[in-house]
Structure formats: C-alpha cells, structure tokens
Amino acid sequence: MASVRASNGNSPVICFNCGQAGHIARDCPVGRGQGTFSNNAGYWQSRQQKDKDFRRIKELTDLQIKKAQEKKERKKVEEDKRKLDAEQRKARLEQEQREEQLRRMIADTERRCFQETERVEQLAEEAGLRTIASVARDLRAFKDEFRTEVKMTFAMNAKTPKRDISWMNASLESYLTEEGTPTDEGKKIPLRRTRGKRSAPRFGEVGEFEEEMREQTRDEYEANQRGKVSTPQPVSCTARGAVGSNNKGGIMQEILGTRDRLLKKDFREIKKICEERDVTYVLKEQAVRELVNLATDGKIALAHAKQKFEIGGYLWVSPIVLSLLTQNARQKGKGYLRQLLEMPYKRKELSSMLIERLMHLYNSVGTFSGKNTRKAVKDFIANAVAKKAGVNVKRKITVKVQFRKKVCKREVKNVLLSKIGSCELHPAIAGLLSRKLQFVRRRNRSVSEIQCNHRILSRSTTLSCTCSEYALPRTDGHILARIGEVEAVPQLALNGKNIVRPRLETSLEELSTGMRQGLTVVLGSRVRKHLEDLHLDKCFTIGCNEEGRGDESLVLPVKRKLQGLAITPIDRNVGDMVVMCPLLYGRRFDMMFMWNVAYLTVSNNEAEILQTMKAYYKNHGLDQLAAWNCKGAIGKTFVLPCSEPSRRGAPLGMMTEMEDEGGARLHSAAPTQDSGARTPNCADVE
C-alpha cells in the first residue's frame, strides 16, 4: 500500500513520500515528476514564489546581520579608542605629578643644603672665636705669671733691711708651698698647682673629680692604665648589671651623677678642667663626654672606639653584663601578666591604665608558651580595652567573598585600612587591627561536588532501581558505567577536579556587605557612620578576561539528566567518576559493612565510643607518640567503586574523611585487619 488509511472513513489521505494530505504517493510531484500535479503550472508557480520569498528573506536577514556586525565593530573601535585616550591622559597626569614631586624634592634638598651650610659656617666661626679667646687668655695668664716672677727676682736681689729679707724669705717659702702671700702693692700672688701624692682615679664629688684631674698628667694616666691592664683588679657584683663600688648605687649611678654635676658647671670651668687634663675643648657636651670617659678609666662604647683604634695603644674589651635595662619590652611586661594570672585582685588595675599600657601588655601575651594561658590573659586585657575604646581587639577584621578573578585584593585592603583610619582609634589599636586584617576568597565548587550524590545515598534507608529510565551500560542487570561512557556530556564535566564558575558571581553589593559585616563585628558603632560610601570602584579590575573558565550551566544539565542514578568518584582515579544504580550501590554498601561478618554492629553513641578508644589509646602507650585530639570525631563511611574493570563496582573498605594523617594511616592499615573476613563478592581493601 502507498498510503495507510484509518479504520473510519473520515481520516484524510496522507502521502507516503511528502507526508502531505490530499494525494497519494502515486500522484505526488516530489517523486519522478509523474502524477497528477506534474503538469500543474499553478502548483509549481506557487512553489517557485515561495522559494523566491525565502531567498529574499534570507538576503534581508544576512544584510541585517552584516549591518549589526559592522555597527558592533565600529562601537568596539570607538570603545578601544576611548580607553586608549583615557590611559594616555592618565599617564600624562601621572608624569606631571612625578615631575612636580621631583621639583619639590629638589627645592627642599637645596633649601636643607643651604641651611646646613649656614649652620656649619656658623659653628666654624664660633670655634675660631673660641680658639682666639682661649689663646688670648693663656697669653695673658703667662704674662701675669712672668711679671710676678720677675718682680720676685728683683725683690730678692735688692738691698733691703734685715726684717725685709726675713719677710721676703717667708713670702718665698709660702710661694713655693703655694699659699697666698700679699706683696708690697697689696696684691695676691697667683698660686701654682699643688704637688701632692697622686692617687688612683675614683668616683666622688665634683671637687674630688677636679682635684684628680689636676693631679694626673696624660703620661701618668696612660701609665696607670697600662698597669691596670697588666694587673686587673677584682670586681664584686652588688646587683645584676651593676658593678659594685663604695657608693650604694654602683658605678652606673656614680657616672650619671658625675656627668650631671659637670653639666651644671659653667663652660669656663669645664674648659679649664679640659686644659689641665689635656682634652681638646670644642663644645660643652663633647668635653663632658670625654671627661667622663677619662674618669671611668677610659671606658667608651665599642661603636665610638674607632678613633681610639686608629690612634693605637693599649686597649682592652670588657664584656657587657646583662641587666634589667637590656631586657626586651615584651619580657618586661610578662612579669606583670603573670601577676594577673596568680593574683586576681591585680586585674582591677587594668580599668585605670591607659590604652598605651594595655596594648603593650596585649602584645606581650605572645611570650607565654601555653595556648590556654595566652587566651586567659588576652581575655582580661581585651575586656579592659573594649570598655575604654569600644573595640574588640580579639577579633580580626575578616572579609569573605566568593572567588572571582576581577576582585582586586590589594584595593579591598586599602579601603579597609582607610576605614580603620577614619574611626579615630588609638594608634596602637589601629596598628594591631591593620596587621590582623584578612581578606578570604571562598573556593568555588568543583564538578564532583555538584554531581556526586553518594554521601546522600549512604544515609538513605530506602533505595530503588532506576535502570529502566536510562540507556547506559549494565553489569548484572544494573547500570554501572564511567562518566565518559555517557553521551552528550561536556568535556568539562568529565573531570571531577575541575573548578567551575558560579552562575551568580561576586557583585559589588556582595563585596560591600562582606566588608560592612567584617568592620562592624570588630569596630562596632565607631565605624557605622563611615560605612555609607565605601568607594569600591577600584576593587574590580577592568578588562579582566574570564571567558576561558567553565560555568555551572555546563554541569547542572548533566546532574539533572542523571538525577536518578548514584554518581560517585572512583577510588585512586583522580577526577574520574562512575554512574551506577542506587540499588546496586546500597547492596554493595550493606555487603561491605552490615552483611559482613568482619564488622560488628555497635549500639553505643559517638561519645561513648570515643571515650573507650581514648582509654585504649592511652593504655597501650600510644599517647607518647602522638597526643590524643580531644576535638576529633568518628569519620563518615562511603563505598567507592574499584578502579579495576574486572571488579568494577565492588565495594571498598572503610573510607573516612581524610582530614588528618591518622585517618590516612588507619585506612592504609585496614587490609591487615580484614584479611580473614573476605568473601568472593568483596574486593580487596586498597
């Protein structure tokens, strides 16, 4: 039959060749050009007219598409030109700013050089004037002494009465002993330096210091130092970091006291002492420093001893004794923090301390080695800071957003730092919050996280067979195939390790919300008035290409297509997945655990099991190898298909969450524990 009619006579006749109604295949013009319609001009003219209309519509559509493409290209060229002009304008402005900064820097450098030159010239002029005045005073003193000696000589040689000779002898004797004796003119004869017994240098009052300087010359001082080097004197320590002496405060206090007394003197007296000690006087501070060095047996800092090394001579290096002055600032604060732990009443003092002191103590908490100790001390100090400044210094300003390539991490941190600075916080608090600032990008989902549903099926109590709805490879009457054997699956969805781009990417509103939450949690009401406008325009990179990344829209259709089947990763096949019947998955699961004689059903809860395991762990001395994790939990169990084709679909051993090294070692040790309980339907534990 060329056509098929229905049982009733009202159905139209359908052509077998073209599928149209009204004629049969024998009369169809589509065949060999024979039939009723072969010479029908009206029929063929209508067909030709339709073809012409179709071609005209096609040409018009092509023309419109061409115009749209040309318009798009022109728009793209204009956009590129506008971007290029903007970049050139920005580069020109930056160049002008750099040139202006360079000009200001050069002008500032010239100004500082001119001021420094003037200062050096002024100091040189003052030094010259001081030298001239010193030489003039020395000449005047020498002239007076010479005149006095001449007068004394003439007075001794003159012819005078006997009483005058005896008086002159007495005056000469007093002169030699340097006692003041009036002359005939009623003037007082100047005294010479006292020649008495020389003593070793020691620390005492200012008068004793001057007397010591007048008694020793430079040669005698050097000889004395050489003797001290050859025969060191025993030293007794009276306190940590201070060498013992006759005074109660030690050498350090005596040196500081001597320096203060010298600084209180007039520069003329200091200069006179320098002349007697053969010390070059330039400035008062310089002279006092060198005099103190001489008074302390020539002890100077190693950093300032370069000139002494260049001159040469007998030198020795003394060790520096550790003292309380050399301790770290954090180590000093540790003692007070220990008092806070041992003496609870000391914690009341925190409310009266300044923020600088509180933040110093907070930074010193890191010197404790115990985590619980650090946490307890931080709570005390953080509560006191929160009452004073209204800021929770224990928390970090953390901003969490979904990963997106366009989000610029550096610009987000700059915005957060500007908001921290606008809150008018104490510099110590602002610095701490700036250092602890965090910007976290949450990882996007992978293909396996979207498609795999084996964890949900492992907790399900009722599973049914859905193999009749899918045309996929089967094993023992049930579907069991790799994901690559399924038709019309994109290349992206074949590897479970691929990270896909979410449909709803990180937007400006989401980033703004995350930043507001992170700032409000730590700063509270201090930052709320500054959150109106965050200026996040620069936080998104312009022109960043994201077309190469896969989208979730390619993976979700595959998940909907295979929604009724179990999708699970394949053991030791990175990224590969298998599609299997849910009923088959449930049977293999029960065969491995519930129906396996090697496993025991336990009715206890998780807390009781962990307590028993902990006791067993410590009784066997395993805690000496690794500490017991008090926050641990029992891992979840799943069944993964075997990678070998001959045993495809066979269940594997205990598969826990691989979050730590202990779980991995337990999983690798499972074959030895289960070696005697295998069945023909149970695969080897891998």
Q: What mean pLDDT is predicted for residues 253-263?
A: 73
Reply yes or no on whether the pLDDT at 342 is more than 80.
yes
The token pair that represents 654 in the structure block: 């205990």
For residues 563 and 625, the answer to whether their CB atoms sit within 8 Å is no
- Phi, psi at 324, each rounded to 5°: -65, -25
Report which listed range, 143-157, 211-225, 493-507, is most confident: 493-507
Give residue 455's pLDDT: 85
Q: Which residue has the higher pLDDT, 580 or 659?
A: 580
pLDDT level of residue 540 (50, 70, 90 thresholds) = confident
pLDDT level of residue 641 (50, 70, 90 thresholds) = low
Reply yes or no on whether the pLDDT at 428 is more than 80.
yes
CA dihedral 3, 7, 12, 15 (to 10 degrees): -10
Give residue 74's pLDDT: 92
Reply yes or no on whether the pLDDT at 233 is more than 50.
no
Q: List CB contacts of 491: < 8 A, sequence separation 6 or more.
A: none
For residues 565 and 578, the answer to whether their CB atoms sit within 8 Å is no
**Residue closest to 316 by CA, chosen among 243, 244, 228, 255:** 228
Q: What does the alpha-carbon distance between residue 656 and residue 663 come to, in Å, rounded to a whole number? A: 7
For residues 26 and 2, the answer to whether their CB atoms sit within 8 Å is yes
Reply yes or no on whether the pLDDT at 582 is more than 60.
yes
Q: What does the alpha-carbon distance between residue 498 and residue 521 come to, in Å, rounded to a whole number? A: 35
The token pair that represents 164 in the structure block: 């005058």
Reply yes or no on whether the pLDDT at 331 is more than 50.
yes
Q: What mean pLDDT is predicted for residues 567-593?
A: 84
Reply yes or no on whether the pLDDT at 34 is more than 80.
no
Q: List CB contacts of 235: < 8 A, sequence separation 6 or more.
A: 243, 244
Q: What mean pLDDT is predicted for residues 478-487?
A: 89
Give residue 164's pLDDT: 52
Q: List CB contacts of 191: < 8 A, sequence separation 6 or more.
A: 178, 179, 180
Give residue 182's pLDDT: 41
CA distance between the termini of the chain: 65
pLDDT in tens, 260-299: 788 888 888 888 888 887 777 877 877 887 777 766 655 6
Reply yes or no on whether the pLDDT at 630 is more than 80.
no
Give residue 666's pLDDT: 43
**The amino acid at 238:** T
**What is the percent of the chain where pLDDT is above 70?**
67
Helix 427-435 and helix 355-363: axis angle, to 10°? 30
84-88, 287-291, 582-586: segment of lowest average pLDDT: 287-291
- Is 515 buried (19+), middle (13-18) or exposed (0-12) by CB count in 10 A? buried
Q: Which residue has the higher pLDDT, 142 or 477?
A: 477
Q: What mean pLDDT is predicted for residues 125-150?
A: 77
Q: What mean pLDDT is predicted for residues 401-407?
A: 84
Give residue 459's pLDDT: 82
Q: List CB contacts of 609: < 8 A, sequence separation 6 or more.
A: 602, 634
Give residue 44's pLDDT: 52
pLDDT level of residue 153 (50, 70, 90 thresholds) = low
Give residue 319's pLDDT: 62
Q: Which residue has the higher pLDDT, 104 or 242?
A: 104
Give residue 458's pLDDT: 83
pLDDT level of residue 85 (50, 70, 90 thresholds) = very high
For residues 575 and 459, the answer to whether their CB atoms sit within 8 Å is no
Q: What does the alpha-carbon distance between residue 670 and residue 652 come to, in Å, rounded to a whole number? A: 10
Give residue 622's pLDDT: 83
Give residue 544's pLDDT: 60
Report which listed range, 26-40, 106-120, 528-542, is most confident: 106-120
pLDDT level of residue 653 (50, 70, 90 thresholds) = very low
- Phi, psi at 478, each rounded to 5°: -125, 155
For residues 225 and 233, the answer to whether their CB atoms sit within 8 Å is no
pLDDT in tens, 347-391: 888 888 888 888 888 888 888 888 888 999 999 999 999 888 888
Reply yes or no on whether the pLDDT at 240 is more than 50.
no
Q: Which residue has the higher pLDDT, 675 or 623?
A: 623
SS (H, E, C) 601-642: CCCCCHHHHHHHHHHHHHHCCHHHCCCCCCCCCCCCCCCCCC
pLDDT level of residue 327 (50, 70, 90 thresholds) = low
Reply yes or no on whether the pLDDT at 4 is more than 50.
no
Report which listed range, 32-36, 131-135, 315-319, is most confident: 131-135
Reply yes or no on whether the pLDDT at 130 is more than 70.
yes
The token pair that represents 204 in the structure block: 């005492």
Reply yes or no on whether the pLDDT at 667 is more than 60.
no
Give residue 603's pLDDT: 77
Reply yes or no on whether the pLDDT at 79 is more than 70.
yes
pLDDT in tens, 46-57: 667 777 888 889
Reply yes or no on whether the pLDDT at 138 is more than 80.
no
100-104, 185-189, 441-445: segment of lowest average pLDDT: 185-189
Exposure string of 470-485, with b = 16+ CB inside 10 Å and e = fewer, is bebeeeeebbbbbbee
Q: Which residue has the higher pLDDT, 121 or 532?
A: 121
SS3 489: coil
SS (H, E, C) 504-567: CCCCHHHHHHHHHHHHHHHHHHHCHHHCCCCCCHHHECCCCCCCCCCEHHHCHHHHHHCCCCEE
Distance of CA 254 to CAs 205, 250, 259, Å?
9, 7, 9
Distance of CA 153 to CAs 140, 150, 156, 462, Å?
20, 5, 5, 136
SS (H, E, C) 314-379: CCCCCCCCCCHHHCCHHHHHHHHHHHHHHCHHHHHHHHHCCHHHHHHHHHHHHHCCCHHHHHHHHH
Reply yes or no on whether the pLDDT at 245 is more than 50.
no
Q: What does the alpha-carbon distance between residue 377 and residue 364 come to, in Å, rounded to a whole number? A: 10
430-434, 522-526, 630-634: segment of lowest average pLDDT: 630-634
pLDDT level of residue 338 (50, 70, 90 thresholds) = confident
pLDDT level of residue 30 (50, 70, 90 thresholds) = low
Residue with tokens 């009749």: 468
**The amino acid at 477:** G
Reply yes or no on whether the pLDDT at 181 is more than 50.
no
- Phi, psi at 502, each rounded to 5°: -70, 160
Reply yes or no on whether the pLDDT at 171 is more than 60.
no
Exposure string of 280-297, with b = 16+ CB inside 10 Å and e = fewer, is ebeebeebbebbbbbbbe
For residues 346 and 258, the answer to whether their CB atoms sit within 8 Å is no
Q: What mean pLDDT is predicted for residues 224-251?
A: 40
The CB-side HSE value for 50 (13 A sphere, CA atoms) comes to 6
**The amino acid at 300:** I
Reply yes or no on whether the pLDDT at 10 is more than 70.
no
The mean pLDDT of the chain is 72
Q: Which residue has the higher pLDDT, 136 or 392?
A: 392
Q: What does the alpha-carbon distance between residue 169 and residue 163 come to, in Å, rounded to a whole number? A: 10
Residue boundaries of the structural domains of the chain? 1-30, 206-325, 594-636+653-686
